[in-house]
Structure 1
Amino acid sequence: MTKTRVLTGITTTGTPHLGNYVGAIRPAIAASQDPNVQSYYFLADFHALIKCQDPKRVQESRREIAATWLALGLDTDNAIFYRQSDIPEIPELTWMLSCVCAKGLMNRAHAYKAAVAENEEAGNQDPDKGITMGLFGYPVLMAADILMFNANKVPVGRDQIQHIEMARDMAGRFNHLFKNNFFTLPEAVVDDKVAVLNGLDGRKMSKSYNNTIPLFVAEKKLLKLVRKIKTNSLEPGEPKDPDTCTLFQIYSAFASAEEAEAMRQEYANGIGWGDAKNRLFEYLNEQLREPRERYQALMEDPGHIESVLMKGAERARAEAAPTMDRLRQAVGLGRFV
């Protein structure tokens, strides 16, 4: 039976936090263990250069993210885990797709339109001020990531659906121009049941808001951050609404259904905010203790991380290289003999 191909990219511009784990890492690792699925997970470090020109931050983020996924149990014998920048066929395919992609399609990309709108609101005479070709054309790079491995499904948030549709457009155009089904048309997979955690200030946990709790922060720092989580002014003994509380939201994302229900009763009984924060810290700290230790060991052994990623790159290139040979031949760039 042919396995379903599922591909996920992780942008390497920040330190993984609790929201990343609950919303993306945990479900992805679970899905990678499905014997009917061939999973591709890659560090999207070319994409990172669009947003970040701090080489130390990009380099450190790549190591942190790789160590995080490995510490949390990613099975690299099953899943193919690699760095985007280790696959030279990706930028080559990006150029081929650029040559069949209509500029008008890129003009409609959400990120580009938002950047233009910001310039217009600021009164800039040049609507493209500060916009790089990386930002403008990154949907083509994303299409190359997906189409290189003929992914059937790509788990994304709703804001990324447009990019999967663009990848389908480029794949269909290429197939039509060169008269063969070179590329599978990928499907976006949006799981509305995936949890979205709030951060310290009650907004969505995001490095853009500087309100995150890093996944493997040291124990003392974890306690300090949990104590900073915003709550209301209700006193101990007064019933509290768990459904509007960031503390309860984070707790229930990690706890079992029975544990969450017991905590819900504590809220009805009027648990004090100090006690609620201590309970959350103790629960998180216990849940994360073992993976944190594995993470720290991996961070101290970059050679091991490197070897895992290079093995993943070898497996990825074993597919990408013959694919590009076929595509070069199709567009007229094949060897003469």
Structure 2
Amino acid sequence: MSDTTVTPPVTPNANFKPRIFSGIQPSGNLTLGNYLGALKRFAQKQDEGIETIYCLVDMHAITVWQDPEALRRQTREAAAAFIASGVDPSKSILFNQSQVGAHAELAWLFNCTARLGWMNRMTQFKDKAGKNAEKASLGLYAYPALMAADILLYHATMVPVGEDQKQHVELTRDIANKFNHDFGVDFFPEPEPLIEGAATRVMSLRDGSKKMSKSDPSDASRINLTDDADTIAKKFRKARTDAEPLPETVDGLSERPEARNLVNIYAALADMTSAQVVAEFAGKGFGDFKPALADLAVDKLAPISTEMKRLMDDVTEIDRILGKGAEQADAIARPIVEKTYDIMGMVRSR
């Protein structure tokens, strides 16, 4: 027998407690895309034995000007959507970002860690600033460092994201890696993106090549979580489709973006695979499929809109939940940011 000891390779997160963090901007009118791509999965994750922390990132929202009253209402409405979608404040930490000051503190420290070249490669700033980049806020340019702070402030090891958000998790990993390397520590984990499910990217009901968006001028392009049962059914029945019946296999949807989108939505709502949906409806036209999808969507989504309305009728409970969540979040975040100061050489004498 060999006397050589073989040391297993060390993974970047081996020394960190498994923990999930994710956040959503409270910019109003959360949609079916937010539910299937985020909220539904958030609720599922809290029952998998992993600590879950969910945040309404109101500090990200102000990278563009926000009406103060609208921001307050939208933050509470987003909290109501989390709760109505099954996120249980007794199982998960739910809070709004601005109530935990350590987010802004760590973001500044990461501003001094991240490199300009990294920021210049971030596609979302280019998309949001467009041709008026010179008039955009500094916050809009630097917000990926705040996003990294949101995640690493809790030593999160996993981040549920859509495909279009993977770049931010990659930047977060770069910042964690550089900080650890610069100071010779193993202090921040390198979080992994969690991309799961049949409809992680839900497309417009009017154009299957575009993501479902709350900013689309056409309300018919999306299902809002505040839509009532009749509105949900009407929008699905009027969703754009083609004239062909559903194919025998998923491969037959490859050049049919609207059909593929509706099949993916059905699959995600029913906890099925897209292949199972296609097998069930193969050969049937959209005259059969869309009413079935509408009925399924009403069954799943109407209770959410009803509960959101109930919660918003008296926001006292929402504010209490967010306040308690902020206290829980701060209890995790404060020691981590204090240790970060210490690692960087800041005198901490009070």
Q: Would the TM-score normalized by the shorter structure come out above 0.5?
A: yes
**Structure 1 residue identity aligned to 2:123:** H
Q: Secondary structure in 2 aligned to 1:268?
A: coil
Deviations 1:6-30 (A, max 9, x none): 1111111131211221122112210
User: What is residue 161 of structure 2 aligned with on the other side?
Assistant: 156
| Structure 2: distance between partners of 1:170 and 1:262 | 41
2:87 aligned with 1:82, yes or no?
A: no
Structure 2 alignment gaps of length 5 or more: 1-14, 248-252
Question: Which residue of 2 is the match for residue 144 of structure 1?
Answer: 149
The separation in 1 between residues aligned to 2:271 and 2:343, in whole angstroms, is: 53
Residues 8/58 of structure 1: CA separation in 2 closer, same or farther (3 Å cut): same
Which of 231, 237, 256 lines up with 2:241 in the alignment?
A: 231
1:46 is aligned to 2:59: yes
Letter in 2 for 1:132: S
Question: Which is further off, 148-157 or 53-62?
Answer: 53-62
- Assess, with a 3 A threshold, how the Cα gap between structure 1 residues 266 and 102 changes in structure 2: closer, same or farther: closer
Task: Give the direction of change, closer, same or farther, for the CA distance of 1:76–1:182 in structure 2 (3 Å limit).
Answer: same
Mapped to 1, the partners of 2:182 and 2:278 lie a distance apart of 60
1:99-138 matches, cutoff 5 A: 99-114=112-127, 118-119=130-131, 128-138=133-143
Counterpart code for 1:184:
P
The 1:205/1:162 distance shift into structure 2, 3 A limit, reads closer
* Aligned match of 2:269: 254
Question: What do the CA deviations read for 1:19-56 (whole angstroms, capped 9, x no partner)?
Answer: 22112211221011111x11111011111112453334
Counterpart of 2:332, as a letter, is E
Rate the CA distance shift 1:225–1:262 in 2: closer, same or farther, 3 A. Answer: closer
1:8 corresponds to which of 4, 22, 42 = 22
* Alignment check: 8 A CA contact 2:162 2:201 kept: no
Match of 1:205 in 2: 212
Q: Answer whether contact 1:32 1:39 (CA < 8 A) is retained.
A: yes
CA apart distance, 1:67:
0.6
Q: Is this contact kept in 2: 1:52–1:58, CA < 8 A? A: no
Partner of 1:93: 106
Q: What is the identity, as a one-letter code, of the residue corresponding to 1:250? A: I
Question: The residue matched to 2:134 in structure 1 has which SS?
Answer: coil
The two structures, once aligned, show a CA RMSD in angstroms of 3.0
**Paired letter, 2:207:** G
**Sequence identity (%):** 34
Q: Which residue of 2 aligns with 1:214?
A: 224
CA distance in 1, matches of 2:237, 2:323: 40
Secondary structure of 2:56's partner? strand
Distance in 1 separating the partners of 2:212 and 2:200: 11
Judge which range, 212-221 or 299-308, deviates more.
212-221
1:268 paired with 2:268, answer: no
- Which residue is equivalent to 1:241? 246
Moved more, 85-94 or 23-32: 23-32
| 1:6 alignment partner, SS class | strand
Of 75, 79, 82, 1:66 maps to 79
User: Which residues of structure 1 form unaligned runs of 5+?
Assistant: 120-126
Q: Return the match for 1:302 from 287, 303, 315.
A: 315
State the match for 1:188 in structure 2. 193
- Aligned equivalent of 1:173, options 178, 181, 206: 178
TM, length-normalised to structure 2: 0.80
Checking the alignment, whether the CA contact within 8 Å between 2:157 and 2:191 is kept in structure 1 is: yes
For the residue of structure 2 that corresponds to 1:207, the secondary structure is: coil
Q: Deviations over 1:39-81 (max 9, x none)?
A: 1110111111124533344323212211111112212222211
Displacement of 1:214 in angstroms is 0.8
In the alignment, the residues of structure 2 paired with residue 193 and residue 247 of structure 1 have an alpha-carbon distance, to the nearest angstrom, of 11
> Residues 115 and 40 from structure 1, CA distance in 2 versus in 1: closer, same or farther, beyond 3 angstroms?
closer
The answer on whether the counterparts of 1:10 and 1:44 sit within 8 Å (CA) in structure 2 is yes
Q: 1:33 aligns with which of 47, 50, 55?
A: 47
The alpha carbon displacement at 1:150 in A equals 0.8
- 1:174-197 deviation digits (Å, cap 9, x = unpaired): 334444333222223333744433
Pair 1:220–1:158, CA change in 2 (3 A): closer
2:207–2:240 contact (8 Å) kept in structure 1: yes
* Letter of the structure 2 residue corresponding to residue 149 of structure 1: Y
**TM-score of the two chains, using structure 1 as the length reference:** 0.83
Q: Aligned partners of 1:262, 1:331: CA distance in 2, in Å?
A: 54
